[in-house]
């Protein structure tokens, strides 16, 4: 068995809006190995988020293919993509994207219920891993932004996914909170062996990774 | 994930409460409009059927709408009583009714002029709650003479009364509902046109007329000297079966050339008489239904459209489309079913209010229409959530996730 978790083949993406074409990704070939901590860096607008959304099967490519854990995304229908997403991937966003109406605990519980899992010790474990056990009963609106992002990370790891994809998770945080969050990713990576795919434009953040992928103008620049 | 749906709804309590109220108002509107358009006519027909009689006889020119027109002669009763069906006397008793309209406490009412001894047939099992049955003069001409005497400021003698007490007013019996609505009680003076009248008794609701008066005095008060009537109620021999009753109707028609209808069919006769009104009522029902549906649609539509971000979050967590739709439908159903229940309760409240304030109106709340309302509520809830849910799903979840 290969230790490749994600492999893309000539991935292209062009957005079409009102007849205007915006080409964003050009022939992206990249790989993420099982258990790696990869950071993707590049200037704003170079296509990092788009790449992540395609890798996370939230967005379909205009050309090329992605192979995740041995499955070709091109062979999957919408239901198959949703299944892969809920079983193998966890997302963390710059703007947290928590459900505002339920508590931190229930934000994680909802994710588990979507997977058909019973809500049990897993949620508590995830909360403990991000040190949010105490505050879990509060709704997101009553948490600080750093705490909100920790809940979002707990949500992304509760089901022990193969990979956590994080799109500028520290982009909205001050340096102290950012450091806490980055430490959390390091901890998750080391202790739980979860692959981390971290998008950032901060060099400090990227230094937590084993490997940095540079992007510019929709292309991979250099694999370091 | 009922919890999420409930949390979403309690998160914005006022908004949710207003949505529930909107649905409730739509359902109430539906039930009240339909109930009102059907209820008043049906109530008249039900009251007619409360009379201890099987057949109504009327002239073909008599108009049920205005309760006026062609008249009958009381002497025709003899021809009806004589009828035999299969060699047995078919008729037990015939009651004449002279109809008129009067205003009581600002409400226009039909007045049933009846012979005092016939009143028991009209009351049936319903009791006089207060007061006593009125008496009458012997003939309309006697009543006219008395009226004349009264206008000459002489004392009117109640000639039927054994005590010969003077009676210088038209005695009226009203039903309980009218009494409650008009706040009239036994002994209260009212006016009948220009002449004085007085409430002498209150009868339980459900009798054919809301107002009864002695027939001859009512004729006299209308300046009618002849013994005319507008309707006869025929109490048939109890041994007659339905076929024989039908035969009796035909016999009455051929003997005295009057329309005879089974009381049981009266509702139908009214409906035929009010064909345009019936069409109108059906139209009102359909329009109310459509408005109710649109109301629910708009209410839920706006709620679900707001859920774009939530839908995208659920998708990023790997929720299937079906699951996401289920979530929006669940939320909508909570609002719509609560609203429907509230609407049904509200309908009964509105019915109570309208019937108390406007005793002429009756709102009929039928089980069948409640079921239709429930279907509209639930169906509207599902459909109105599916459509915007589908739209939200067809949007790019990535875009929704990037917005604040
Ligand atoms: N849904 C979209 N429709 C059209 N253009 C888009 C869409 N999403 C992103 N883009 C464009 O694609 C380019 C790359 O965007 P993005 O992947 O968000 O870059 P990054 O995350 O590196 O800043 C930008 O020019 C952006 O305007
Ligand atoms: Mg981005």
Give residue-wise pLDDT tens across range B202-233.
Answer: 999 888 888 999 999 999 888 888 899 999 99
Mutation test of ligand 1: which of A12, A13, A15 has the most ligand atoms closer than 8 Å to its C-beta? A15
Best mutation target, B13, B15, B16, B318, to test chain A (most A CBs within 10 A) = B318
Give the distance (Å) from ligand 2 centre to CA of residue B228: 94
Give the distance (Å) from ligand 1 centre to CA of residue A217: 11
Segment A33-61 shows an average pLDDT of 95
Q: Return the pLDDT at B44.
A: 77
Cβ of A13 closer than 6 Å to ligand 1, yes or no, is no
Candidate from B8, B318, B404 with C-beta closest to A114: B318
Query: B359 with B301, same domain?
Result: yes
CA–CA separation, A2 vs B62, rounded Å?
98
Query: B166 with B119, same domain?
Result: yes
**Structural domain total, chain B:** 2
Q: Which residue's CA is the closest to the ligand 1 atom numbered 4?
A: A15
CA–CA separation, B252 vs B248, rounded Å?
6
Closest CA to B218 of B95, B127, B110: B110
Chain B CB contacts of A58 under 8 Å are 315-316, 397-398, 401
Q: Which residue's CA is the closest to the ligand 1 atom numbered 24?
A: A45
For residue B49, tell me if it sits in a domain.
Answer: no
Q: Return the pLDDT at B70.
A: 84
- pLDDT per residue over A61-120, tens digit each? 999 999 999 999 989 999 999 999 999 999 999 999 999 999 999 999 999 999 998 888
Q: How confident is the model at residue B157 (pLDDT cuts 50, 70, 90)?
A: very low
Taking CA atoms, B82 is separated from B78, B90, B248, B250, B277, in Å, by 6, 8, 11, 14, 38
Cβ of A77 closer than 6 Å to ligand 1, yes or no, is no
Least confident of B235-249, B288-302, B371-385: B288-302
Q: Return the pLDDT at A30.
A: 94
Does residue A195 belong to the interface with chain B, where contact is any CB pair within 8 Å? Answer: no
In terms of CA atoms, which chain B residue is nearest residue A90? B317
What percent of chain A lies above the pLDDT cut of 90?
91
Q: Which CATH number fits domain A4-223: 3.40.1280.10, 3.20.20.70, 3.90.650.10, 3.40.50.300?
A: 3.40.50.300
Q: Which residue's CA is the closest to the ligand 1 atom numbered 8?
A: A50
Secondary structure class of A13 (helix, strand, coil): strand
Q: How confident is the model at residue A49 (pLDDT cuts 50, 70, 90)?
A: very high
Segment A25-36 shows an average pLDDT of 95
For residue B54, tell me if it sits in a domain.
Answer: no
Q: Which residue's CA is the closest to the ligand 1 atom numbered 6?
A: A15
Closest CA to A47 of A20, A27, A17, A69: A27
Query: B153 with B223, same domain?
Result: yes
For residue B205, tell me if it sits in a domain.
Answer: yes
Q: Return the pLDDT at B113.
A: 95
Whether residue B271 is predicted with pLDDT greater than 80 in this model: the reply is: no
Chain B CB contacts of A93 under 8 Å are 401
Cβ of A15 closer than 6 Å to ligand 1, yes or no, is yes
Q: Return the pLDDT at B273.
A: 74
Candidate from A86, A101, A106 with C-beta closest to B317: A86
How far B381 CA lies from chain A's nearest CA (Å)?
A: 21
Atom of ligand 1 nearest to the CA of A47: 17
Does residue A111 belong to the interface with chain B, where contact is any CB pair within 8 Å? Answer: yes
Cβ of A43 closer than 6 Å to ligand 1, yes or no, is no
CB contact under 8 A, B8 and A101: yes
Position with higher pLDDT, B142 vs A174: A174
Dihedral, B346, B348, B354, B359 alpha carbons, nearest 10: 180
Whether residue B107 is predicted with pLDDT greater than 80 in this model: the reply is: no
Q: Return the pLDDT at A11.
A: 96
- The domain boundary, picked from B231, B257, B283, lies at B257
- pLDDT per residue over A108-136, tens digit each? 999 999 999 888 899 999 999 999 999 99
Q: Which residue's CA is the closest to the ligand 1 atom numbered 26?
A: A45
User: In the 8-state DSSP scheme, what is residue B38?
Assistant: H
Query: B230 with B363, same domain?
Result: no
Segment B325-329 shows an average pLDDT of 92
Q: Return the pLDDT at B248.
A: 93
Query: B245 with B288, same domain?
Result: no
CA–CA separation, B19 vs B338, rounded Å?
10
Position with higher pLDDT, A1 vs A195: A195
For residue B53, tell me if it sits in a domain.
Answer: no
Position with higher pLDDT, B56 vs B362: B56
> Is the separation of the CB atoms in B200 and B188 below 8 Å?
no
CA–CA separation, A213 vs A170, rounded Å?
18
What percent of chain B lies above the pLDDT cut of 90?
43
- Every domain of chain A and the residues it spans: 4-223
Query: B204 with B320, same domain?
Result: no
How far B342 CA lies from chain A's nearest CA (Å)?
A: 25
For residue B55, tell me if it sits in a domain.
Answer: no
Taking CA atoms, B203 is separated from A188, B47, B97, in Å, by 84, 13, 18
Chain B CB contacts of A110 under 8 Å are 1, 3-4, 314, 317
Cβ of A49 closer than 6 Å to ligand 1, yes or no, is yes
CA–CA separation, A66 vs A25, rounded Å?
13
Query: B73 with B36, same domain?
Result: no
Segment B106-125 shows an average pLDDT of 89
Name the residue with tokens 């008129």: B100
Q: Which residue's CA is the closest to the ligand 1 atom numbered 18?
A: A49
Cβ of A24 closer than 6 Å to ligand 1, yes or no, is yes
Give the distance (Å) from ligand 2 centre to CA of residue B402: 9
CB contact under 8 A, B317 and A110: yes
For residue B48, tell me if it sits in a domain.
Answer: no
Q: Return the pLDDT at B173.
A: 95
In terms of CA atoms, which chain B residue is nearest residue A85? B318
ipTM over the 0.85 cut-off: yes
Mutation test of ligand 1: which of B312, B399, B400 has the most ligand atoms closer than 8 Å to its C-beta? B399
- pLDDT per residue over B12-65, tens digit each? 899 899 989 989 998 998 899 888 877 877 777 788 888 899 999 999 888 766
Q: Return the pLDDT at B281.
A: 78
For residue B51, tell me if it sits in a domain.
Answer: no
Domain span at residue B103? 60-257
Whether residue B162 is predicted with pLDDT greater than 50 in this model: the reply is: no
For residue B92, tell me if it sits in a domain.
Answer: yes
CA–CA separation, B117 vs B61, rounded Å?
28
What percent of chain B lies above the pLDDT cut of 70?
93
Whether residue B156 is predicted with pLDDT greater than 70 in this model: the reply is: no
């Amino acid at each position: 068995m290969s230790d490749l978790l994600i492999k893309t083949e000539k991935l292209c993406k062009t957005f079409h809006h009102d007849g205007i074409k915006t080409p964003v990704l050009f022939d992206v070939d990249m790989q993420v190995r099982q258990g790696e901590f990869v950071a993707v860096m590049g200037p704003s607008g170079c296509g990092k988020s788009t790449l992540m959304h395609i890798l996370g099967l939230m967005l379909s490519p205009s050309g090329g293919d992605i192979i995740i854990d041995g499955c070709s995304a091109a062979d999957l229908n919408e239901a198959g993509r949703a299944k892969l997403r809920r079983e193998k991937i966890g997302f963390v966003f710059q703007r947290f994207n928590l459900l505002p109406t339920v508590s931190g605990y229930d934000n994680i519980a909802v994710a588990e219920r979507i997977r058909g899992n019973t809500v049990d010790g897993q949620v508590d474990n995830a909360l403990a891993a991000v040190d949010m056990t105490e505050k879990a009963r509060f709704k997101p609106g009553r948490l600080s932004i750093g705490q909100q992002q920790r809940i979002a990370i707990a949500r992304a790891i509760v089901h022990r996914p193969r990979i956590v994809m994080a799109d500028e998770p520290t982009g909205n945080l001050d340096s102290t909170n950012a450091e806490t969050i980055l430490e959390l990713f390091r901890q998750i990576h080391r202790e739980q062996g979860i692959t981390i795919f971290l998008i950032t434009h901060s060099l400090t953040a990227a230094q937590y990774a084993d490997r940095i992928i540079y992007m510019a103008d929709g292309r991979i620049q250099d694999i370091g | 994930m009922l919890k999420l749906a409930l949390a979403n709804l309690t998160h914005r309590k006022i908004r949710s409460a207003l949505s529930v109220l909107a649905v409730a108002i739509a359902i109430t509107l539906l039930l009240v409009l339909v109930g009102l358009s059907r209820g008043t006519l049906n109530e008249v027909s039900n009251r007619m059927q409360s009379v201890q009689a099987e057949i109504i006889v009327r002239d073909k020119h008599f108009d049920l709408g205005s309760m006026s027109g062609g008249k009958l002669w009381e002497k025709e009763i003899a021809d009806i009583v004589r009828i035999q069906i299969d060699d047995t006397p078919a008729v037990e008793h015939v009651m004449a009714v002279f109809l008129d309209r009067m205003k009581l406490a600002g409400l226009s009412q039909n007045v049933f002029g009846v012979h005092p001894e016939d009143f028991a047939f009209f009351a049936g099992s319903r009791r006089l709650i207060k007061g006593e049955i009125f008496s009458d003069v012997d003939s309309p001409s006697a009543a006219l003479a008395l009226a004349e005497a009264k206008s000459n400021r002489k004392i009117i003698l109640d000639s039927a009364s054994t005590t010969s007490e003077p009676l210088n007013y038209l005695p009226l019996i009203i039903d309980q509902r009218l009494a409650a609505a008009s706040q009239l009680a036994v002994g209260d003076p009212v006016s009948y046109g220009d002449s004085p009248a007085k409430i002498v008794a209150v009868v339980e609701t459900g009798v054919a007329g809301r107002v009864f008066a002695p027939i001859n005095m009512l004729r006299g008060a209308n300046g009618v000297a002849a013994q005319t009537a507008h309707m006869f109620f025929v109490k048939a021999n109890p041994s007659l079966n339905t076929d024989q009753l039908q035969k009796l109707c035909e016999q009455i028609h051929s003997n005295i050339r009057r329309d005879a209808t089974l009381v049981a069919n009266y509702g139908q006769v009214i409906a035929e008489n009010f064909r345009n009104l019936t069409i109108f009522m059906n139209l009102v029902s359909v329009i109310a239904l459509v408005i109710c549906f649109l109301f629910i649609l708009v209410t839920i539509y706006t709620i679900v459209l707001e859920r774009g971000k939530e839908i995208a979050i659920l998708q990023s967590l790997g929720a299937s489309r079906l699951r996401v739709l289920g979530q929006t439908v669940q939320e909508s159903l909570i609002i719509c079913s609560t609203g429907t229940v509230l609407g049904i309760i509200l309908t009964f409240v509105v019915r109570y209010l309208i019937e108390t304030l406007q005793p002429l109106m009756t709102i009929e709340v039928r089980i069948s229409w409640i079921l239709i309302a429930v279907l509209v509520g639930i169906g509207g809830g599902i459909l109105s959530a599916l459509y915007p849910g589908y739209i939200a799903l067809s949007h790019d979840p990535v875009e929704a996730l990037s917005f604040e």
